[in-house]
Structure 1
Amino acid sequence: MKLPGIALADWRAQGQSFSYQGHAIRYWTAGEGAPLLLLHGFPTASWDWHYLWAPLAARYRLIACDMLGFGDSAKPRGHDYRLLEQADIQQALLQHLGVEQPVHVLAHDYGDSVAQELLARHEDGHFAMASCVFLNGGLFPETHRPALIQKLLLSPFGALVGRRFNRRKLAANFARIFGPETQPAESEVDDFWRLITQNDGQGVMHRLIRYLPERAQQRERWLVAMQRTQVPLRVIDGAVDPISGVHMVARYRELIADADTVLLDDIGHYPQVEAPERVLKHYLEFRARIAKRTAVIDT
């Protein structure tokens, strides 16, 4: 049985805001203990984590924000949205909250790229990361299979495509990328759509999508960081995702030594929504293994 979630209205009521370079960023916190930073994907928002929020908050100090251009955060027109800036925003949020100790990261999709940048900064001595778990995302540009809407948003007609993107098209895209037995309910699609359209979000989709070429630009730097790091990493991946499913995990195993990967059969691109109880199980196992290793080192 799926974990109980949080209604969107209740989720929004729990949010707080801080200012990043004049832009209002909406964020959420809960729980106590080691900080766990949750990074959402494109084109949705931090509400993606609502099924996992309570069980994780019972164990860790959770921190999540709607990134610039997403959800309930500011969506400035004409802005040059960059993954590197989104990583800056995460660090600014942590500073705003007074977090100084190493941070665990759980990321999905677009958030995977932000996590890769934070990992690279960790390797450069500019961020302290304790561990990182990636859910479905384009960790390697060569394995990413963008949806048609993503290709169209990147085209010269991207602004028009974004303006014409509607709830029906969102539902059709979700139907293709969710698992066949774990399709979103109509009410869930409605709520995802509310977050996308908040602050006229369709008007910036063609700018947000520029993260795809930015991933290619940063590939080597991010890959080297993943290959060299001593930070514990795990991939938990919905296997039937046509964008970054089993084929992405195969490439991960080729490139990352002693790759720690978990494949979720019959699950698509949004495992934290489709099978949150399974994601929770594998995430907690990962954290327990880290704790055991740390205890052995300390003794």
Structure 2
Amino acid sequence: MTHRASALISAQEWFSAGERVGYDAERPGINPRSPLRAFIRRAAGTGVTRTFLPGWPDGSYGWAKVEAFLSSRFHFPRIYLDYIGHGDSDKPRDYPYSTFERADLVEALWHAEGIAQTVVVAFDYSCIVSLELLARRIDRERAGNDQRTRITACLLANGGIFADGHTHAWYTTPLLTSPLGAAITPIGQRSWRMFAPFLRPSSRADTH
């Protein structure tokens, strides 16, 4: 019980152990002079780096218990990150959010950290980002341009990638396709009530 309790940390404690690095989204790369900031947390070690990609809504903080477990038993290096718009990364209102820009950020961090090869562990929507990263890897290999980080293995959890492998409650689809669903869905997507306090768009990102 004592060990389990010690593994529980707050979001603020999790983020305070990381770093907000400058990110140039127009020319994807880590740039200290860029006003746009992305959160990254590192754990030193030896061997192949494990890259943990976040899910919704926890962001990188969702890996806090996993990190507590790994740090007490394993010694491989680990890297955690938050996409732009999530966790402790900036949350600009006018930004081209997409699977592709998330993959750009991941590759930029790998390059900046000098990671030659990595195991990717992805949760939730990051499974789709992982597929994009794998597709880019295949395209580069076919083109004879194999100079980026090599993904040696990939673990996808709760990604809903295969349509025949997951279902929704029977009443959700009729509701969303009804006039009521069409009216409510856009409102819900814009409402700040759907964000936890530490995930809400911040005013500091408005000028980016």
Q: By the TM > 0.5 criterion, same fold? A: yes
Query: Does residue 175 of structure 2 align to residue 161 of structure 1?
Result: no
Structure 2 residue identity aligned to 1:56? L
The structure with the greater share of residues assigned to helix is 1
* Local SS of the residue matching 1:27: strand
Question: Over residues 166-199 of structure 1, what are the superposed CA-to-partner deviations in whole Å (9 max), with x where a residue is unaligned?
Answer: 2xxx6xxxxxxxxxxxxxxxxxxxxx82232252
How many angstroms does 1:91 deviate by?
0.8
Q: Which moved more, 1:2-11 or 1:66-75?
A: 2-11
The structure with the greater share of residues assigned to strand is 2
Q: Which residue number in structure 2 is paired with residue 27 of structure 1? A: 40
> Structure 2: where are the runs of 5+ without partners?
25-33, 142-147, 204-208
The answer (yes or no) to whether the contact 2:192–2:200 under 8 Å persists in 1 is no
Question: Over residues 29-77 of structure 1, what are the superposed CA-to-partner deviations in whole Å (9 max), with x where a residue is unaligned?
Answer: 0131220000111233100000011332432211011111111111111
Residue from 107, 110, 131 that aligns with 1:91: 107
The answer (yes or no) to whether the contact 2:93–2:201 under 8 Å persists in 1 is no
Query: Does residue 137 of structure 2 align to residue 134 of structure 1?
Result: no
Structure 1 residue identity aligned to 2:187? L
Q: Which residue number in structure 2 is paired with residue 262 of structure 1? A: none
Normalising to structure 1: TM-score of the pair? 0.51
The answer (yes or no) to whether the contact 1:121–1:127 under 8 Å persists in 2 is no
Residue from 175, 194, 199 that aligns with 1:196: 199
Q: Measure the CA separation in 2 of the matches of 1:88 and 1:76.
A: 17
> Structure 1: where are the runs of 5+ without partners?
171-191, 201-299
* Local SS of the residue matching 1:52: helix
Identity value in percent: 28
RMSD: 2.9
How many angstroms does 1:143 deviate by?
4.5
Q: Measure the CA separation in 2 of the matches of 1:99 and 1:165.
A: 36
Change (3 A) 1:118 1:96: same
Query: Does residue 69 of structure 2 align to residue 55 of structure 1?
Result: yes
Question: Over residues 94-137 of structure 1, what are the superposed CA-to-partner deviations in whole Å (9 max), with x where a residue is unaligned?
Answer: 1121222x100111001111111112222223541011111111
Structure 2 residue identity aligned to 1:43? P
The answer (yes or no) to whether the contact 1:87–1:118 under 8 Å persists in 2 is yes
* Local SS of the residue matching 1:161: helix
Normalising to structure 2: TM-score of the pair? 0.71
How many angstroms does 1:5 deviate by?
2.9
The answer (yes or no) to whether the contact 1:113–1:138 under 8 Å persists in 2 is no
How many angstroms does 1:158 deviate by?
4.9
The answer (yes or no) to whether the contact 1:5–1:52 under 8 Å persists in 2 is no
Q: Which residue number in structure 2 is paired with residue 18 of structure 1? A: 21
